[in-house]
Each structure stands twice: as structure tokens, then as C-alpha cells.
Structure 1
Amino acid sequence: MSKVLLTGGSGFIAAHVLDILLEHGHTVITTVRSQEKADKIKDAHPKTPGSQLSFRIVPDIAVEGAFDEAVKIPGLDAVIHTASPFHFNVTDTKKDLLDPAIIGTTGVLKAIKKNAPSVKHVVITSSFAAIIDGKKGLRPGYKYSEKDWNPITEEEAPLNPGNGYRASKTFAEKAAWDFVEKEKPNFTLSTMNPPLVLGPIVHYLNGLDALNTSNQRVRDLLQGKWKEGIPETGAYLFIDVRDIALAHVKAIELPEAAGKRFFVTNGFFSNREIADIVAKNFPEYEKNLPGKEVKGGAYPEGGLYGFDDSKTMEILGIKYRGLEESIVDTVKSLKAVGA
């Protein structure tokens, strides 16, 4: 088993990565922004010995040298870097999105090269946002794969929060691959490029007011915000959080994952399908849900892009959860925190 540093351990994806690492018998050191977060995670794993789960406090990943001390761990084998912001409550695109993503990513790689010579492999959470070309629209007939890169420019990045997010993921991932190519460090790299990530939250870390962006749509549905009209789906591809978490862990366990991007997606979904799944499985929410006559949230009439995730299936061999299982488990987890 490996000794693994996991950054951003209280995040939506990272919390599931942490659980799977422990299940697989790995020793985990996770970075968190505060001692309070560390205590919550520790309290939620009472049977896990301190020798298998420990913490490093990194208050701000956008500060140069933020990870220099955190990576100084004797015998450290691998690093999974998930820490990066994803929200649209942005006042300064550079400060709120671009800097934490890019400086955080390059900073952890520099720290590993400088202070953690035993590390053999690094996995970074990127996004479908670093693959899709938003300017091309829905692109019916085109199949996106790991070969594609979002062509967004530095000039376009600050125009709106959506551009800022897509640019942050694209620039950070490119910076990581450039670092490995130019610096020839002691480790290999894999990146994960999931689309919209749905699935259950980890209760002890989350409340309804602090959900990951993708699950906010499920919360809004349960709270009656779709009753008069279902919003456009926006991103039509999804993955369950437990499946993308497993993909991160498998990438450090399988040598053939080194040097590769992984476009990890289950397939298509629409907001209309989410509403129908909730109506079918949770009759107690009926008064808050849109009726069959309510418009919106369907697939686009002209069709949309396809996808090729054959590399992920071939190398990582993950059996994906379906949309219904993902949404049912999401709703159950939201009910547990008051939805």
C-alpha cells in the first residue's frame, strides 16, 4: 500500500477520494484549510488509526510555497491534488479563480520536486471544462475526447465567471503538463477531466448552504425553485462523485495510468430527467416539484456533441453508476442535512 498526500481533503470529490484511499488500505495525509476541518474529518473516522490518517494545514493554496512544508513526508509515494475553487460567486476572476487554480497546481508540483523525492506519481483534478470548446456550441456529430483542449485565451478569461472557471481549469492543467515536460521531475502525472459531478455529499462536511455547484441544482429542485420552469441543463454530461473518486485512486494504483489525461464520464443527463427521477422516488417532495406540463430542462432539439471515454474504460475499468442511482443517493444525502 502507498503513502498518499491528498490536497483539499474536505472538498466534495476529495472527501470521497479520502474514504476510498482508506478502504484500499493506503496511508493518507490530507491538507485542509483549518484545524476545524481536520477535526471534523478525524471525528468521522474514529476507527482509523492516526498512523493511517493525518493532516497538514494549508490555509491558502494560492500563496507561493504553500505546499513546501506539507509535502515533507518521509516515504511519500503519491500525491492527489484536488484543491481548486469551483463557484460563480466571483468578484475578481484572477484572484478568485485563476490564481488559486494555477498557482495551487504549479505550487504543489514545485514543492514535490523540491522536497519530496520519493513521490512517483501525481494525479490532478482537472475538468471537462479544459476539453470542451464553448465557442463551438453544441457541436452535434462531434465527439470530445482527451485529445481536445479548450482554446480559451487569457483575454477571454476575465469576461465572465464561466469563462474564468473554464480558463482556470485549462491553464492549470496545461501548466501541469508543461511542468512535467520541462522540469523532468521524479514523478509521472495523470489528470482527471470529469464533466458535471453529481452524487451524495459527505454529511459531516456539508450543509445546504455550502454545496458544490453541481448539487445546488438538486437542492433548488427540492426547495421548489423549479416549480414554474425547469432551468436549462447547461452541461449535459455527468459522472457520479464516487466513480470519479475511484478513478483518482486507481490512477495511483495502476502504472499504466501514468502520463495520461482521463475524460471520465457516465454519459448524458438533463434537468428534466433529474426532476422525473425525484418525482418517481420521493413523493414527499411532490408539492415542490414541477408538474409534467412545466416546460424546460430537456435535451436540445438539434442534438449535441458526443464523447469518447474509451481510454478511461480500458485503463481504469470503472463500472459507472447510472443517473437514477446517483440522484436518489444525492437526495437522500441532502435530506440528511435538512432538505
Structure 2
Amino acid sequence: MPAVKQETENPGGKVLLTGGTGFIASHVLDSLLEHGFETVVTVRSEDKGKRLVDAVDPKAKHLVRFAIVGDIAQDGAFDEVMKSEPFDYVVHTASPYQLHWDDPVRDCLDPAIKGTTGILKSTKAYNPSVKRVVITSSSAAVLNPPNHRPVYDETSWCEITWEQAMDPKHTYRASKKFAEKAAWDFVSTQSPNFTLSVINNTYTFGPVQKSLAHPDQINTSNHRIRDLVLGMQRAAVASTLPPFTFVDVRDVALAHVRAMMLPEAGGERFYLVSGYYSNPRLAEIIRANFPELQKKLPPPGAEDDFPEGHWAFDTSKSRRVLGLEYIGLEKSVVDTVKSILEREDWGVLKA
């Protein structure tokens, strides 16, 4: 496959990676460094930047630097870093994620939409050497609850309206749709020097980033695993929330790098899903692989709440174009738990 051939080469080049302290960005950084890319990572403070660089493999530290970018919703937020040096690629992962918003527009929609269009504007204006921009979107921009398609793929778009986005329980998925739409509209109307690729990943499990100071900082998707490991569901396993699909963060990271490198990935979006999960399945995988956690887990034999007639997904495009071979649920969960237990400073097994 072309993607596999490309991966074996050392392409060189310089990448600007935004949102560097985020879960997905931390793994994208690892993958970029493994591929030999010099990488400048944006962070919101000096302290976060130093913590991120300190967590990088010592053998690759010479390839990574950080730049401070404060409020990404501000006009021109990325101008200075774009003016500072030429880049070959941009990977934009920075976007807010939470479920409660004091002001949906100020706290979520503006940072997502203006952050995305802002980096595209700055790239076009100040960095003509950039060949490809890759943006992290979400399956939230693909799925259309409650009126689900029988099978989802890259042709699907969430149909949420701006008015519905004012309801905080819909704000996040609206932000992903409108930010991605704005990116495609920018490329279509502004004819920039670069091509665009977009990654639409579902709930993302996988090893937690090394730069975290506390388990409370673990990414939201991984909370399902974290809560089991910390004994927060001893009495009973929590009900699973939709969409019951997952992907491993290492596949997501590799997809970003290959979408950046491969010519045929330009102008494409990629819907990333490895398979299905439920909270009872997570609990049983942990039980089978970590006997030392038995006392923290809910009672065995919980009924699987995976719903009958759940919609299907088609990820053939990501396999064909990006050459992905998805990590399965057991490996993803086991490796996530290991990454939590390895943090002796968190004292998981002592609690």
C-alpha cells in the first residue's frame, strides 16, 4: 500500500501542531517525532510547554519546541507563530471539549470555529510553504442523532442547527460541525496554498499522555476506563452512553500523520472507528487482565447494555487511503490501564 511505503521513509520537514497538551495532540506529536518531523507545538503557557517537552522521549527532544498561543478565538491568534518560521505542514487539534457551558458561543462555538478559521487565515497569509493542513474534527460532525443512518461514512454530516447549538447539551457536537464546515468553506472560497484533510474520530481510548499531573486531567473518553480503575464503579457498572463506538488514540495519531503526508489524502475527510464497546465489556476486559484491580471493579456478570439494532459504520476509506489497521478493544483497554498504573505518583493501587 502507498501509505505503508510512505511510513517507512524519513520525509523530513517541519510541522506546526496546535493544542499540544491535549490527549490526541500528545500522540500525534509522538507519531510525528517517530516519523522524523521537526515539530513546533502550541501551548497556552510556558509551564505547560515545559511539561510537554519534558515528557518527550529524550532521543527526540531535539526535534520539538513549543510556542505560546493564548486564546485561539482571538483574531490573529496564530499570526506570530506563523510569521516566525516556514512550515511544511500544519496539524490543528486545538478545540474546547466539555459538556457544560456558561455561554455556548463564547466558551465553545467561537473557540472552535474561530480557532479553525483563524489558523487557516494565518497560514494562507504568512506561511506560503505549507502544503497540507490536517484538522481534528469529530464523529460528532458525522452522526445525526436521534435519526441515525443505518451505516455512517464520510458522506454523512450532523444536521444540527445554530439555534439548537444554544442548548448546552448540543453545543459541543454543533461546534465540531460548524468548525469543520467553516474549514471546507475557507478552502473552497479562498483558494489557499495548501490542501485540507480532516479526521473525524469517535470516542477515543488509549494510553494517557505522560505530561498529565493528575488523573482528573485524563481525556473525557478515557473516563470510562479511568473510573473503573479508580474504583468509582464498585457498586455497579455505569450505564453506557451512546454512540457505543471507539477508536484507539494511536490509530488517530497515525491517521493525522498519514493524512498530512499522502498526496491522495488531500481534500478528504476520514471517519475513524475501530469497533463497538460498552461499559460492562470494559469492566470484564480489565477483570480478565488485571487481577490486582479486582477489589476496585463492579461485581462480575453485569448484563451487557449494548443496544440491539445499533447503527453500523464503514471505515473502508481510512483503511484504503491511510492504510490503517485498527487496534482492537482489548488491546486498547489493556494499554490504557497499564498507562494509568504506571503512574506511581497517582497511587492507584494504594487507594
TM-score range, shorter chain: over 0.9
**Counterpart selection for 1:320 from 311, 323, 326:** 326
CA–CA separation in structure 1 for the residues paired with 2:101 and 2:340: 25
Q: Are the equivalent residues in 2 in contact too, given 1:236–1:270 (CA < 8 A)? A: yes
Change (3 A) 1:336 1:69: same
Aligned twin of 1:47:
59
CA offsets per residue over residues 230-289 of structure 1, 9 Å max, x none?
322322111100110000001111111000000011111111110110110111221221
CA–CA separation in structure 1 for the residues paired with 2:271 and 2:89: 21
Aligned twin of 2:242:
234
1:336 aligns to 2:337 (yes or no):
no
1:305 aligns to 2:311 (yes or no):
yes
1:12 aligns to 2:23 (yes or no):
yes
CA offsets per residue over residues 113-171 of structure 1, 9 Å max, x none?
1111111100000000000001315x5xx11000000000000012123x111000000
Aligned twin of 1:224:
231
Aligned twin of 1:97:
108
1:198 aligns to 2:205 (yes or no):
yes
CA–CA separation in structure 1 for the residues paired with 2:98 and 2:222: 12
Aligned twin of 1:71:
82
1:173 aligns to 2:180 (yes or no):
yes
CA–CA separation in structure 2 for the residues paired with 1:206 and 1:218: 18
1:35 aligns to 2:46 (yes or no):
yes
1:207 aligns to 2:214 (yes or no):
yes
Q: Are the equivalent residues in 1 in contact too, given 2:143–2:152 (CA < 8 A)? A: yes
Aligned twin of 1:251:
259
1:282 aligns to 2:290 (yes or no):
yes
CA–CA separation in structure 2 for the residues paired with 1:128 and 1:229: 25
Aligned twin of 1:84:
95
CA–CA separation in structure 2 for the residues paired with 1:294 and 1:243: 30
Change (3 A) 1:49 1:240: closer
- CA-based RMSD of the aligned residues comes to 1.4
CA–CA separation in structure 1 for the residues paired with 2:237 and 2:124: 51
- Give unpaired runs (5+ residues) of structure 2: 1-11
Once the two structures are TM-superposed, the CA of residue 49 in structure 1 deviates from its matched residue by 5.0
TM-score normalized by the length of structure 2: 0.91
Aligned twin of 1:22:
33
Q: Give aligned pairs, total.
A: 332
Q: Are the equivalent residues in 1 in contact too, given 2:131–2:194 (CA < 8 A)? A: yes
Once the two structures are TM-superposed, the CA of residue 88 in structure 1 deviates from its matched residue by 1.5
- Give unpaired runs (5+ residues) of structure 1: none
CA–CA separation in structure 2 for the residues paired with 1:48 and 1:276: 37
Opposite residue 225 of structure 1, the aligned amino acid is M
CA–CA separation in structure 2 for the residues paired with 1:235 and 1:289: 23
- Give SS of 2:135's match: strand
TM-score normalized by the length of structure 1: 0.94
Aligned twin of 2:190:
183
Opposite residue 180 of structure 1, the aligned amino acid is V
Q: Are the equivalent residues in 1 in contact too, given 2:237–2:279 (CA < 8 A)? A: no
Once the two structures are TM-superposed, the CA of residue 336 in structure 1 deviates from its matched residue by 2.7
Q: Are the equivalent residues in 2 in contact too, given 1:203–1:336 (CA < 8 A)? A: no
Moved over 4 A (4+): none
Aligned twin of 1:3:
14
Q: Are the equivalent residues in 2 in contact too, given 1:68–1:111 (CA < 8 A)? A: yes
CA–CA separation in structure 2 for the residues paired with 1:146 and 1:288: 40
Once the two structures are TM-superposed, the CA of residue 101 in structure 1 deviates from its matched residue by 0.5
Change (3 A) 1:225 1:48: closer
Aligned-residue sequence identity (percent) comes to: 50
